[in-house]
Structure 1
């Protein structure tokens, strides 16, 4: 992986540029992040690692991302399903039964269970009386989606369907044929479809405007309960996609629990939105032994519905790479005349290369069906059946030809009825109950992750740190090369005698980042500083022009004993500001009020700032033969705290004037401090705890809200923590200098105004 490189600032500063600008007037740094944001309609190529070991490391990271982004890390408790199977219908070669069970207390999954008719199944291959089973999420349109008479005739004429009766319900057709082949098959309702009525289809799939309940109280208080599309759900990574993923996991639990099912032979197939669910479940659940996710394995459009998107999921990845997490287990799909049309030359060759690392190129397949639009039609199903037959060992005779069956009516498919009344808890109140249950599950699971907790098994802080790295989308990196900068000197002294000011850029080729910074040194200092203080401050380096007298005093007193002060522009500051919106996040141009359409594909501004801060700390470490200390103030304090907690660089001491910042205070996803999942994983308390036992001086002058964290508040006796007097907003110069200096046994400065050594 590329390391951090320094680009010399040997460009003449234009007349209109500010005093500390790195770039000429009118030019931005060569930073890829200043371009357009990515959308779900972008290009998502799959770059295959060179070795199997490299892929396995990448796969572990991706699975962690899926679990975190869907709100399932740590996994909730698998509560009793309380499954009810009723209303058996006997058909030619198969049976149909209605099913409902609780994926979590009070939330019901509904669907139809198709079983082989043991007396008439011709090709079934049960082992010890048990059949393989296939989970079949239906996709948009619902499991009972029915073509009109005119539509089915058009399908038959185009060769997309074969029969009038069975072809009218194509999503049930695959369940029938799989049952006739000897597979127990469960097709379960997506949220808002069929008998899944507790959250409406309008809410789940067409949430065009924020509801009153989605918004924070106007008095500024924090709510104690919230629905799925609220900012409070975002801050805890609670989403429709996450709930559907949990429903899929529990549906697999249901199938595996059936007495006539072989839990070692489980498969999955779904189309369109159901294909998205098949991709995710195959990625995170090793019980899926063979998969056919159709219509969504693509380097193009990634899924346009709310139910197919959640924050963090596709940052630096896409559906093809996520589908590749099945490897080396068998996985197949098709390319059609839709967003999958390029798969045959952009996606499928890379999948074959990956499977080749395992010596299993025969375990991946993408069939050319470009003559059809987006579908899971008769022809596509005819590709899926032999795939399942081969890899589940069904023993069906080739060729497998789908047979007709009598119409399955809407009444046949009804789960709820007089003897089985539908749940009464519905709507916003049900959403709130689901979110509260998920919140309680997260709190219980995170107790052992909290550093120094009674339940800490030794890896708790490692799990918590990794969760924070995931919600900040921090890629693992190594410092393979670092070049000394030929920095540009400036004549401006910032009103401090004896100071030399230089500027430059820190470039990270892997991230496409170019971070402008200013370096302050005593003008007679040696080339290699004995120590570096990195000051993350509001406004970045440009704000040095307007320092207060206290800040100038701080600079004077820190620039002794061969010290250097580095002040960077973090993303969104100074020369890295975008569009002049210093107090808001950038979001994509989409009228739908949904964070995941932006932050499912792009890092938050805070995430970019933390990554910048980590790179600056690495650079500072390369500058000094002695030590690196950190000072974080103003709106740059949260990013500096996260960088200290998550950086691999050894920081000697850090002082952070947090002054009441809490991630929970973000009231919309456009807030600059918005980070999905930040409240779930302990807010700033967790970051402070992750710095321990390294020396940290903290000032925090706001009373902490009991709602701002799902885990216990920060202990006062945390190792390495020193608390500053929270009263007042003045810069505590004397205390900061003493803390950042005496920890290294360095001299205190002289009392006059000039910088002395």
Structure 2
């Protein structure tokens, strides 16, 4: 059997289209379609006989220990576009798109503790109703009061997320003697509490510093340390449908709304920053953040999300290697096609320093830091980024690292102090001196699952309020385009390349019956290294068809069976389409080598950390992969906008709807059979259709609205109360003056 033809369609990437539909108005989408048509080319090549599709090995799932390189975009405009999308990704991954409320912080400050040259005060406030952030506030005293002041008598402030070990972590005398001998530390007393020493020295430099408790540490007692930071197993109570009121962290319901411990901790950090910035004596132009290890991760997040951060020193976590091994450092969506170096780069061109140690940051001097220097140079500020090699030390925020940080803060916070800045000793804090809760200020008594339910219910309520003008019957174009569309484009962001090559390969047609011909083939997406099996059915003389004829693409989700399930006799719908259109291309998604096994997708083996974030924080869900497969086939048959009709039978809506939305004008009409499917009905994160965040951003209703203003027919049931499942789609199609393009066939 000889190959009939090989058609190559080079097209403007759907990743580019995806980017545009997230931020442009309808006119821009239409213009993009015109550009797509102009870019399309085709040529005829000869080739040897092709099989339906060759066996393809499944790629290994990426883990937190993978390689996360930073490739600097070629131009400033490219970086600015990339940075905008990355900030949206970070905000979504932390559950903060749209941002949760950040009103005035009502903090209680009490029980001062005096040391030479600085004072410590205990602080607590509610970041979420009923959820308390606790920490210690450090202020300069005595002769240090004159340091750091600007002409208005205001001083800089430095937020200090502490990292693992907690703010009250204290090394014993044997450890301290070893650290002093190795050069890690200088003072036996103050050096035994290195996180406190950092804050104290910053205060002695004339800064106000605040070290707040990460979730589960010290006085953050409402969720346990082992639960928030380790996650050894899944609780039975977490197995609830994605659309239910979320009651527990790590459940399918919480992940479907992008609610996580990592997000809670990031919000606590932002509210702690708000607390510092609200103080009357603080210079709002000199706000900084520095943390080590897990605190370094939080420093990266603040640099990405908080534009008021003027100076940053994220230590111990800016790396192309291990990205953070704790549940408090991982969130679904966060590091897909990116990593900590690029996320840290969102601070650019503002000053950012760090060190490399004998840990996962050991390669930074040649893998990560050169790219940061390249970016800062392109932005015109090459001296605003620093990475000092301290690979003689293990993972640390030791005295030597702190000394580098003090110099960085002195320079960029414009303190004007003599250098080098040397720590001086002070008596270590006692447990009582460091405790926020006492008899006069008792700790909250709502803890554990009851507290989780309280936090998550508030979180969901705030999400619904923030998205009210983008979802539901009252959805507006402004609300949808501002918050929902960008979110959907991140969820289904399968490619960031600027172009993609797709090859269509078909065997010579063979006769199936009277006037019916079929040919096996495949679409090869070279960018993603995917081969999608197809079968084309045609009627007419020897199966010939004109290249400009419209093509019907029919998604077959069942296992590929050329003699039964994919033949016209095996499907009444396929047979009807063939009789009506004369040509149908079957996309055999079910035959693809995928993550799926018995309706499930692979999950990273993290036996000590039962969290979906360790899979979907680094890997696209299966639904996104299948969506891209459908888009590749659409591209392969696309000669001009509007010559493709997409038909999606039962079981394919999860990926057919977003594919139709992303294809926009390149699909003349999309017909999707829902059969009652809702992402909200899924119970497990390993379900083949699960995708984090989709319930928060409107489920299938929002995906249908995303397709507007192009023709869409939905076959679906009606709720028992007679109301439509499609309030968002109906509202957005109407708002785009395309109400007649949305057809809902009730069943």
Which residue pairs with 2:602 in the alignment?
586
2:242–2:253 contact (8 Å) kept in structure 1: no
2:167–2:211 contact (8 Å) kept in structure 1: yes
Structure 1 CA distance, aligned partners of 2:243 and 2:469? Answer: 26
SS at match of 1:246: helix
2:673–2:715 contact (8 Å) kept in structure 1: yes
Alignment equivalent of 2:714, drawn from 698, 703, 706:
698
1:603 aligns with 2:620: yes
Distance 1:12 1:359, change over 3 A: same
1:566 aligns with 2:590: no
Alignment equivalent of 1:646, drawn from 662, 685, 698:
662
SS at match of 1:401: coil
Unmatched tracts of structure 2, length 5 or more: 1-10, 15-40
Structure 1 CA distance, aligned partners of 2:52 and 2:301? Answer: 46
Which residue pairs with 2:5 in the alignment?
none
Which residue pairs with 2:485 in the alignment?
465
Distance 1:708 1:127, change over 3 A: farther
1:282–1:325 contact (8 Å) kept in structure 2: yes
1:21 aligns with 2:52: yes
1:355 aligns with 2:376: yes
Structure 2 CA distance, aligned partners of 1:2 and 1:148? Answer: 61
Q: Deviations over 1:71-122 (max 9, x none)?
A: 1001111244221111112221111000001112111110000011154446
Shift of 1:565: 2.1
Distance 1:598 1:482, change over 3 A: closer
Length, aligned pairs only? 702
2:161–2:290 contact (8 Å) kept in structure 1: yes
Shift of 1:662: 0.9
2:474–2:731 contact (8 Å) kept in structure 1: no
Shift of 1:564: 3.5
Q: Deviations over 1:148-176 (max 9, x none)?
A: 01111110011100001101100000101
SS at match of 1:534: strand
Distance 1:321 1:257, change over 3 A: same
Shift of 1:127: 3.9
Structure 2 CA distance, aligned partners of 1:141 and 1:313? Answer: 24
Structure 2 CA distance, aligned partners of 1:637 and 1:712? Answer: 17
1:683 aligns with 2:699: yes
How does 1:161-560 map onto structure 2 within 5 Å?
A: 161-216=185-240, 223-450=244-471, 453=474, 456=476, 458=478, 460-461=480-481, 463-476=483-496, 478-479=498-499, 485-489=504-508, 491=510, 493=512, 497-509=515-527, 511-522=528-539, 523-539=542-558, 542=561, 545-547=564-566, 554-559=573-578
Distance 1:706 1:682, change over 3 A: farther
2:679–2:689 contact (8 Å) kept in structure 1: yes
1:85 aligns with 2:109: yes
2:149–2:155 contact (8 Å) kept in structure 1: yes
Distance 1:582 1:208, change over 3 A: same
Structure 1 CA distance, aligned partners of 2:721 and 2:211? Answer: 44
Structure 1 CA distance, aligned partners of 2:665 and 2:732? Answer: 26
Alignment equivalent of 2:163, drawn from 119, 134, 139:
139
SS at match of 2:310: strand
Structure 2 CA distance, aligned partners of 1:308 and 1:8? Answer: 50
Distance 1:201 1:513, change over 3 A: same
Structure 2 CA distance, aligned partners of 1:462 and 1:475? Answer: 22
Which has the higher mean CA deviation after the structures are superposed, 647-656 or 587-596? 647-656
1:518–1:566 contact (8 Å) kept in structure 2: yes
Which has the higher mean CA deviation after the structures are superposed, 428-437 or 524-533? 524-533
SS at match of 2:434: coil
2:473–2:728 contact (8 Å) kept in structure 1: no
Which residue pairs with 1:746 in the alignment?
none
Structure 2 CA distance, aligned partners of 1:704 and 1:356? Answer: 61
Shift of 1:453: 3.1
SS at match of 2:487: helix
1:632 aligns with 2:648: yes
Shift of 1:589: 1.8
Unmatched tracts of structure 1, length 5 or more: 14-19, 727-757
1:78–1:104 contact (8 Å) kept in structure 2: no
Structure 2 CA distance, aligned partners of 1:626 and 1:176? Answer: 66
Using the size of structure 1 for normalisation, the TM-score is 0.87
Structure 2 CA distance, aligned partners of 1:490 and 1:112? Answer: 76
Q: Deviations over 1:472-494 (max 9, x none)?
A: 333355556666x452225363x
1:630–1:655 contact (8 Å) kept in structure 2: yes
Distance 1:159 1:707, change over 3 A: farther
Structure 1 CA distance, aligned partners of 2:723 and 2:309? Answer: 38
